[in-house]
Amino acid sequence: MVHWEATERQTITSFWGKVDLAAQGENSLQRLLYVNPWCCRYFHKFGDLSTISAIRKNSHVRAHGTKVLSALGDCIPHLGDIKGHLAPLSKLHCETLHVDPANFYLLGKIITIVLASHFGAKFTPEVQATFEKLVAVVAAALSSQYH
């Protein structure tokens, strides 16, 4: 079980309240697919992802980015047991989606960069450290049911 300081919980809740799930979700997935193009292997159904302009025009990217960031947000009421909360999604990613767990860590880093872009100077080193902890815990939880 992961221990969260009161300040960490407060930081996560107050910053997450100002996240635009569609805008930051889309931005995160766009950057994941463009900066790390091998991640496109999981999204053949999305169609053309071969260039940044194709990725930007792709409506599936916006929809899926929103879905992914919403799922991250849904972990926040369950900070005390993210592993339990994400067990079904972890199973899905292993048994149905067959996603290499390394991608969870990659996406976590991209989300951190996108949050920094959105919040600017308010995204201090201490705030960054809290969100790095959150995305690392989420990535580990999503990996936990792999077999």
Note the residues at the interface with another protein (CB under 8 A). 30-31, 34-35, 52, 55, 109, 112-114, 116-121, 123, 125-126, 128-129, 132
Query: Tokens 């999604």 label which residue?
Result: 89
Select 85 or 104, whichever has its Cβ closest to another protein.
104
Select 97 or 129, whichever has its Cβ closest to another protein.
129
* Shortest reach from residue 99's CB to another protein, in Å: 21
Select 16 or 123, whichever has its Cβ closest to another protein.
123
Helix, strand or coil for residue 47?
Answer: coil
* Shortest reach from residue 124's CB to another protein, in Å: 8
* Shortest reach from residue 6's CB to another protein, in Å: 18
